[in-house]
Amino acid sequence: MLNKIQQKDFRIGSLFLIVIITFVATAYVRAVEKKVSNDRHRALALPSADFDSAQPSAQATEGEIGSSSEVLLDSTYTIVGVGDMMLGTNYPSASYLPANDGKNLLDDVRETLKAADVTFGNHEGAIIDKGGTPKTCRDPKVCYVFRSPERYVNHFVDAGFDVLSLANNHSGDFGAEGRKRAKAALKEAGIAYAGLAGTDETAIFERNGVKYGFCAFAPNSGTCDVRNIARAKTIVAALEKEVDIVIVSFHGGAEGAVHQHVPKRTETFHGENRGDVWKFSRGVVDAGADIVFGHGPHVTRAVELYKDRFIAYSLGNFCTYGRFSLSGPAGIAPLIELKVTKDGAFASGRIVPTYQQKQHGPKIDAQKRAIHKIIELTKADFPDTPLSIDTEGNMKKKN
C-alpha cells in the first residue's frame, strides 16, 4: 500500500516538474522572439548615414553596444553653406597672396566648417599655378582676374570643405586650361564640384552613408545657365531620383549695397541679365531641390523657407582676400549651418555672423551684423515665410 502511495506521489511530482519545465521553456522562447523583434525594429530604424558607426567594434562591451548603437528615426544631418571665396591670387602679382601662404585665413571658422556632414562654398577664380589665358577686361575698374595656386586647395581640405561651385564669373578667368587644372586639383583633393555646362553639370557624393547631389548655375559663359529655369529644373529632377539630398547653388542677382533686396523679377547689372533668382530658387525646389545657396551680389540677402526647404538668396563675401571690395555691407557675411532630415526637409539652423577685412579672412562678428541684416531683409522681402530667426541667429519653423 505504501509503495502505491509513493508511486502516485512520484507521478504527481513528475507531472508538476514537466509543467514547470514547459512554462519556463515557453517564457524563454517568447523572450527570445521579443528580442529578435526589437533588434529588427532598431535595424530598420537606423538611417544609412549612421549604419556603419552603429556596428560594434571588436573592443566594445555588450553594455556599450546597447547604449551606443540605437539611432532615432528623426536623426538630422548638418549642412554648412558659405558664399564667395578667393584665398589669394598670384596674378597680376604674387604680392596679392596672403601671409603664411593663406594657411591661417580660415582659422576662426575652421571648427564650424569641419564639424558639418557637408560643407559648401563658391570658389571664385581659376586654380592654376601658372599659364592659362587671362580674360580681357573691357573695363578694368569693374573687372578682375583671379588665379589661385593649386596648393591652396589644401586650405579647403584642411577646413573641411566637401563641395565647391565653379559656376560664377571668375572660374573661367584663365580659360579652358584654368578650368582644367582647377578640376584636376579638386578631384585629387577629394572635393566635389559642379556648374560647368556640358561637362560637369552635377556631382554626386556620399558622406556617412547619405548620398548627396549637387548642381550649380550662373549667368556666365561656360556655366549652367541660371536664366534657363526649365533646364535647371530638368537637371535637379534627374538628380533627385538618384540621391537622398539635393543641394543647389546659384550665382546671380545684381551686386552691391543698393541691391540687397530680392526684387522677385529679372535683375540686370552692368548691362548683363543676372537672372530672376526668386523664380529660379522656387522652381528648383519644385523640381526636387532640398537646399538652395545663393551668392553673387557680394552682400547679404534674405533667407526663406519654401515647402520646408531652405533658400539663402546671397551669402555674400565669405573669404575673399586682397582684391575684393569689402567696404560696408560687403565686409560682413553669414555662415549658414542647417540641420535637415534624411529627405532634406529643414529641421533647424543657425546663422554664424562673420566679417573680414583686406588683410585677414573671416572672423566671428561680435556685433552680429549679418544676423541683424538677414532678419531685417527677410521681414521685408518674405514677411509670410514660416521661418523664425532670433537675434542670436537661431532659425526654426514658426509654430
DSSP 223: B
Residue 286 near residue 232, CB atoms below 8 Å: no
Q: What is the dihedral of CA 366, 370, 373, 374, to 10 degrees?
A: -130
pLDDT digits (tens, 9 = 90+) for 8-26: 444 445 545 554 555 445 4
**Which pLDDT does position 355 carry in this prediction?**
98
pLDDT at residue 373 greater than cutoff 70: yes
pLDDT at residue 6 greater than cutoff 70: no
DSSP 136: P
> Does the structural domain 77-397 have CATH classification 3.60.21.10?
yes
User: Other C-beta atoms within 10 Å of 198: how many?
Assistant: 7
Q: How confident is the model at residue 59 (pLDDT cuts 50, 70, 90)?
A: very low
User: Other C-beta atoms within 10 Å of 203: how many?
Assistant: 22
Percent of the chain with pLDDT over 70: 81
Q: Which three cell numbers, joined as nine digits, stand for 350?
A: 543657425
User: Other C-beta atoms within 10 Å of 295: how many?
Assistant: 32
CA angle 216, 280, 241 (to 5 degrees): 60
Residue range 169-178: mean pLDDT, rounded: 96
**Which pLDDT does position 363 carry in this prediction?**
98
What is the spatial distance between Cα 49 and Cα 65, in angstroms, rounded to a whole number? 18
* 14: phi then psi, degrees, rounded to nearest 5: -65, -45
Residue range 181-202: mean pLDDT, rounded: 98
What is the spatial distance between Cα 363 and Cα 332, in angstroms, rounded to a whole number? 9
**Which pLDDT does position 323 carry in this prediction?**
85
**Which pLDDT does position 44 carry in this prediction?**
31
Look at residue 301 and give its three-state secondary structure: coil
Tell me the pTM: 0.82
Contacts 24+ apart (CB under 8 A), 100-104: 101/151, 101/152, 102/152, 102/155, 102/321, 103/155, 103/158, 104/361
What is the spatial distance between Cα 159 and Cα 94, in angstroms, rounded to a whole number? 23
55 or 350, which is more confident: 350
73 or 151, which is more confident: 151
Kindly give the residue spans of alpha helices, DSSP state H, lying in the chain: 2-45, 51-54, 62-68, 110-115, 153-158, 175-189, 229-240, 277-287, 369-381
Domain with CATH 3.60.21.10 in the chain: 77-397
pLDDT at residue 56 greater than cutoff 50: no
What is the spatial distance between Cα 160 and Cα 285, in angstroms, rounded to a whole number? 26
What is the spatial distance between Cα 395 and Cα 249, in angstroms, rounded to a whole number? 20
DSSP 140: T
Of the candidates 111, 185, 177, which has an alpha carbon nearest to the alpha carbon of residue 152?
Answer: 185
Of the candidates 385, 216, 365, which has an alpha carbon nearest to the alpha carbon of residue 291?
Answer: 216
